[in-house]
Structure 1
Amino acid sequence: MGKSQKKKSMRRHNPMRVPDSHLPKGLGAASASKQQAMQKMESPDALERKWACVAVSSLIQNDPSTRRLLQAKNVVGALITRLSDSEEEVVIEAVGALRNLCIDGGYDICGEMYNKNIMAPLRTFPAKISNVLSLYLENPKAAPQNARKVIYEWADNVITILWCLSETSNKALNAINQISLIPFLMSFLASRDKLPSAPVASAAQCLYVLTEDNRPAVEEVRSNAAYVSCLFDIIRSETKAREGDQASEQRPATLRLLACGILRNVSPLPPSSSAPADFDRETVIPVLLPETSSISLLEYSSRVSQLLEKMDSEPQIEKLSLKNTPKSDHKSTEELELERIETKLRSIQLALEILTGVCATLPDADLVPDEENDEDEAMDGADDADENTAMHDEPATEARSPPANTSFLSSLVEPLLLLIQPTPLSFPPHSGASPHPPTTSALSAIHVCALECLNNIFLSLSTSPNPTVAADTESGRKVWSTVSSALQSVGTHFGPGQERRKDVWEIGVGALWGIGNIWKGSLVPQEGEVQLLMQFCDVTTSDTVRIRCLGALECLAQHPQSIDLNRTISQYLLSILPSEHSPSPVGVEPMIQAASALIDIYSDENLPYDVNFRQGGYVDRLAQSIEGFRRTVRGIDKRKEGGRELRLRGEEVRENLQAFVDYRRDLGF
């Protein structure tokens, strides 16, 4: 079944980056302006070189067509050259342009930067920034406000580039490991009260990424008591910063989340750190749960739509300006609110990413803090006195959400089920671009992350059964219905630009399989969801996803009274097996899964749906598949990664299949 681990390949290099597929293509600025900007990059006049860097930075931001055009003209190489410019202002503007390229261009551009040796000039910047910042911190009046602002923005941009590069490749990560970056980043966290929040947040995000499965960084943080103490201080001291002005409240909350994520990355923490015995339960989950339970995605989606309508109906200075003139830096009230909403959504996404890792390592279903000691913090003020009525606070989702009749369901699963429900802005429409790509990108990422958490939770429950939860069949049915309804709302049209819909389904069917295993026999299958699962199983190119679909179908087939749908599912499983003269139409692992599922479904001949097995002559069909099954399993290459284990699994199922056929024939029916 497989838990969803927190992987670099599953996360964007920067949470502010909007995928190209979510963006309108547009025509960008005039080609003449692009050509002029590139030509002036090599001008002997420093002011023209600076202007060129600024112009390029503006042209590429969230405009994929312009970015690709400039890439073809080696904008990356030209900007990297400017990092060694004799004029400091040119260097600073070049760093800003490269930072925008990292964010909007993704891994490919980051890889191009590394291949064009960006590390050579970049590795010198942390020391320069540290020296200047040390002077400013020691004597705040040593430089005017504008000078301090420039160095803060420069630091933010340099850190963001390093953060993006660290997720590009192992080669880039190894190069970054060589420049002693950890002390530089920790210095921002240690001085967080004296610095603007933007570079501090970027330093924390970069550190969070660097400590993901990167032993040199992990050991450096873990072995320094001051670093660990600083991270714990952030978690403890920033609690009150969640209140106050909306424009500034989210970064401190995000910083707390990042501190939790960094400490999880470097765990186990040394005894000298005074960390609690159960770090996840006592520290991490009480920080994550309030964040994941604090918003309604539907309300945010509606608010974004209202803001967009208001912006469209009001004449904007930008719209009245001459074509190709520079845009104003002024942002309207609506634009600022849209940015605040996106920042909040990205914070939810981050909390879910960390929670995914927590759920992937938990050995059982005891996921939430102790109710007596940590209830207030874990539930963020929720009243747990009447758990059976907790869900009635959300009328719009009451019908599809499970009753909160256990601390497990009410504290952890219930908020996640709300976060998987799609909104009108969750995915780009099939006919074109999203009305607001940043919101769409954030919402779809939240849905995927929430489903990854659910997948891990229910896998933990199915591998370490909890009798109390398993006995609550009504909650099981409603949890299944909620996840299944969300997937059906997302739809199965996965054309260009709809990659996130596919991601939701691929993770979602894994969650369904876990739910099905816990409440097997209690879930009443519906014709529509059975057909969708079979349809998705047919179209997916991933054996892993196909196995998840088959596993979910196997669980639905075991509802005793659903005889007709049992027949539909079993005939579909039989179609996946090889016959006497033809191989299986799917891969080896799905074939093995289908055979195992059929054995499991019909292991009790006294169940009502066993009539399908007898009347359909399934025993003869299974017998006809044994030889083809044996040949397929013997063809597995044990030298390939995982091949030996798969071969053993296949041989085991083949033996079980032969024994099952013999047993059913001995019964005489």
Structure 2
Amino acid sequence: MGKSQKKKSMRRHNPMRVPDTHLPKGLASASSTSTKNEAILPIIQKMESPDASDRKWACVAVSNLIQNDPSTRRLLQGKNVVGALIGRLTDSEDEVLVEAMGALRNLCIDGGYDICAEMYNKNILAPLKTFIPKISTVLSQYLETPKTAPENAQRLMYDFAENVITTLWCFETSNKALNAINSINLIPFLMSFLASRDKLSIAPVVAAAQCLYVLTDDNDPASATVKSDAGYISCLLSIAQLHTHPANDNGKYAGDHRQITLRVLSSGILRNISPLPQPSAASVVDLDREIILPLLQPVISSVSLVVSASRVQQLVDGLASEPQIEKLSLQNAPNSDHKSNSEIELEQLEANLRMVQLALEILTGVCATLPDPSAGVEGETEDRDDEDDIVEDDEVMKEMNIEVSGKGDGSVNFMSQSSLVPSLLALIQPGSLSFPPLAAPSPHPPTTSALSAIHISAMECLNNIFLSLATSFSSSIPADVEDGRKVWDEVWASLGVVGTELGLGQERRKEMWEIGVGVLWGVALVWKGKLSATEEQIQVLIRFCDGAPDERTKVKCVGTLECLAQYPQSIASNQVIANYLLTLLPTASSRSTAGTETLIQAASALIDIYSDETLPYDVNFRQGGMLQILVASVEGVRKAVKGIDRKKSGGKDLRRRGEEVRDNLVAFIQYRRDLGLQT
């Protein structure tokens, strides 16, 4: 069945907190859509002022102006605010330096990939490298003699450390940037925060854990460094296993979300570096069963998305009615850390949502429980004929180079997975703030970004769960058809709310659909022959398949339709699906308009659907003259398979798969001819 493709670049940086893909490109368009044009020039001018208070004001103003405002952020970018702020990182005044670092950090978080790339290209790592030993030295002094440093000085250093670490975390967006960060040897610096967590402010500790979590994700040098130090592993285990914030009577976590986030991050780091080195006490710990699942299951059910979204809307409406300072001035310069109670609560709500998103991200790996494909299938000798179709579907996915999202080691059984499903189904249901239409932008983009990320991550978890179930060969799993029907209906309900506005600025909707179709394929495969679909659902799948820009999504759609066509009593639906699949094949006079992978899947699907001539819907095959259509397609299929370039990525496996289907098609035609069945 369909597996979520692992998107390393997406995992290396959260989705853009304040999306701007809906905005036209160019400085002129940014100027026309921003309401703060008049404030831009004074900021840029004062950034270079000889007066330190002017320079500090300019840095603070950047942080305030870009808040939830992508148009103004773009306008500032066009005026080289990034270069100006990087220049302030060597300022002679510490307060200016701190505010500049904070503004750069905020730009990274709000702006995402493009701004991070711009900062990297403008060599921000040069000053950041110099800050790391300085921060370490000052923090060591605080730890040795905590009472000697004024409280405001400590707070300033903690804020500065958090901003530096968070900025470094945001840069881990490409191999080029990652290699540069690896050369800094950040691991000892980051681990020092975790080791001294009880003596430090929680904010930089969580930032260090977040940076370490992203740094160890599919990054062998960083993972090897952590694994090489038993003290590091022991520290991470001790954090992940803390029970200072137990679940309350409702099974939900109580306490500081930052402490819980720290535990979640530590469990994610341990999973990134697993398997843990032997021999050690840590190596005998079953991470998934003993640590990760008991920790994360309560986390993902700890927040009501409906309640959170409703409260955000109330707070935003309240803020809109408050009097605003129309113009920035030196007399009315806001402090970078000054926030109203409503703004603080909004940040708290977003942090809780991000905590759930993080837990789901880690769970995608836990839900990916397939054994290593290279391990073979020894010992599976009974009932193999009944399982060949499932094995074949799994082989299709491997040959498409579609991977499980995260690391799977087979340690989580079906009962563990099934207990997650109700929580995950609740988390895929969008609300009014989740995917707002382009014509009515979100009143609070950070909440929308967090909600859509949660929906997508929960859908990925479901995708991996049903991938695992579809290849488990357990006859007991599909016994309760009502379970399959419930998941099927819930996924369709979710996609119905997401809608089909998939254009510019609606990329998250598109991603939700692409993953959602994978879940539908998994559910249909687990309950193949026992699950029916409505006429509308079938038509939606056909339209989505036709409109999908990539082969992987098309194959998922075809795979889902293939399973639905095998519901014995759905003769009409079978006919609609079969007729559509036939349009994807070449004819005697024309090539297929579908891609080669889609063509191969369609041919394989038709063979599978009509492999049993005793089923009620086989009448469609005979009356529809499908045998003659398949005969006419053989030469076109052969040419398409022969045209697969083995040298391209995945080409060798696809060619092998194509040759197998081509041979099966010829054998199937002969089989149907030999039956001699008439209409």
- In the superposition, the TM-score normalised over structure 1's length comes to 0.89
Distance in 1 of aligned mates of 2:422 and 2:513: 20
1:163 maps to 169
SS in 2 for 1:126: helix
SS at structure 2 position matched to 1:622: helix
Question: In structure 1, what is the equivalent of residue 547 of structure 2?
Answer: 539
Note closer, same or farther for the CA distance 1:296–1:52 as it changes in structure 2 (3 Å cut): closer
Q: Distance in 2 between matches of 1:51 and 1:484?
A: 51
Partner of residue 506, structure 1 = 514
Aligned match of 2:201 in 193, 196, 211? 196
2:356 to 343, 348, 353: 348
Q: Name the residue aligned to 1:256.
A: 263
Give me the whole-angstrom Cα distance separating, in 1, the residues matched to 2:47 and 2:341: 35
User: Residues 352 and 454 from structure 1, CA distance in 2 versus in 1: closer, same or farther, beyond 3 angstroms?
Assistant: same
Deviations 1:44-102 (A, max 9, x none): 33333222222223223332222222222222222222212233222222211111111
2:471 aligned residue: 463
1:29–1:324: 8 Å Cα contact kept in structure 2?
no
Tell me: CA distance 1:269–1:246, structure 2 relative to 1, closer, same or farther (3 Å): closer
What SS is found at the alignment partner of 1:237?
coil
Cross-structure match for 1:45: 51
Q: Secondary structure of 2:476's match?
A: helix
Distance change (3 Å), C-alpha of 1:324 and 1:55: closer
Question: Which of 73, 84, 96 pairs up with 2:102?
Answer: 96
Deviates more, 1:253-262 or 1:288-297: 288-297
How far 1:19 moved relative to its partner? 2.0
Partner of residue 205, structure 1:
210
**Shift of the alpha carbon at 1:17?**
2.2
Q: Distance in 2 between matches of 1:293 and 1:468?
A: 27
Report the CA distance shift for 1:664/1:16 in structure 2 as closer, same or farther (over 3 A). Answer: closer
Counterpart of 1:288 in structure 2 is: 296
Shift of residue 106 of structure 1? 1.0
Looking at structure 2, the residues matched to 72 and 310 of structure 1 have their Cα atoms a distance apart, in angstroms, of: 32
- In structure 2, C-alpha distance between the alignment counterparts of 1:15 and 1:547, rounded to whole Å: 26
For residue 410 of structure 1, report the CA deviation from its aligned partner. Answer: 4.9
Alignment match, 1:622: 630
1:232 aligns with 2:232: no
Written as runs of structure 1 = structure 2, the 5 A alignment for 1:325-364 is: 326-327=333-334, 330-363=338-371
1:17 pairs with 2:22: no
Q: Give 1:117 deviation, angstroms.
A: 1.2
- Pair 1:30–1:460, CA change in 2 (3 A): closer
Structure 2 unaligned segments of length 5 or more: list them.
25-29, 373-413
The answer to whether the Cα contact below 8 Å between 2:209 and 2:262 also exists between their aligned partners in 1 is yes
Give the structure 1 partner of residue 441 of structure 2: 433
* Change beyond 3 A, Cα 1:502–1:101: same
Deviations 1:595-653 (A, max 9, x none): 00000000000000001000000000111111111111111111111111111111110
Match of 1:70 among 53, 73, 76: 76
Using the alignment, how far apart are the partners of 2:229 and 2:149 within structure 1? 33
- Distance in 2 (CA, whole Å) between partners of 1:16 and 1:488 is 24
Q: CA deviation at 1:655?
A: 0.7
Given candidates 606, 614, 620, the residue that maps to 1:612 is 620
- What CA distance in whole angstroms lies between the structure 2 residues aligned with 1:50 and 1:309? 31
Give the AA of the match of 1:85: D
Who is 1:151 aligned against?
A: 157
2:189 is the alignment partner of 1:184? yes
Match of 2:139 in 1: 133
Secondary structure, in 3 states, of the residue corresponding to 1:83? helix
Q: Report the secondary structure of 1:20's partner residue.
A: coil
Q: Which amino acid aligns with 1:264?
A: R
Distance 1:551 1:232, change over 3 A: same
- Decide whether the 8 Å contact of 1:6 with 1:354 is kept in 2: no
The root-mean-square deviation of aligned C-alpha atoms, in Å, is: 2.4
* Aligned counterpart for 1:453 among listed residues 461, 467, 475: 461
| Corresponding letter in the other structure for 2:69 | D
Measured in 2, the distance between the counterparts of 1:322 and 1:294 equals 39
Q: What stretches of structure 1 of length at least 5 have no aligned partner?
A: 365-405
Partner of 2:590 in structure 1? Answer: 582
* 1:30/1:344 CA distance change after superposition, 3 Å: closer
Residues 579 and 625, structure 1, Cα contact 8 Å, conserved in 2:
yes
Which residue of the other structure, out of 178, 183, 189, is the alignment partner of 1:173? Answer: 178
TM-superposed CA distance for 1:300, in Å, is 2.3
Query: How far off is 1:248 after superposition?
Result: 6.0
Shift of 1:129: 0.4
Q: 1:120 to 1:305 in 2, by over 3 A?
A: closer
Q: Is the 8 A contact 2:568 2:617 kept in 1?
A: yes
Whole-angstrom distance in 2 between the partners of 1:559 and 1:521: 4
Q: Which has the higher contact order (CA 8 A, sep 6+)?
A: 2
User: Which of 277-286 and 5-14 deviates more?
Assistant: 5-14
Q: For the Cα contact (< 8 Å) 2:197–2:205, is it kept in 1?
A: yes
5 Å matches for 1:364-383? none
Q: Tell me what 1:297 maps to.
A: 305
Residue 295 of structure 1: how far off its partner (Å) = 2.9
CA contact (8 A) 1:477 1:522 kept: no
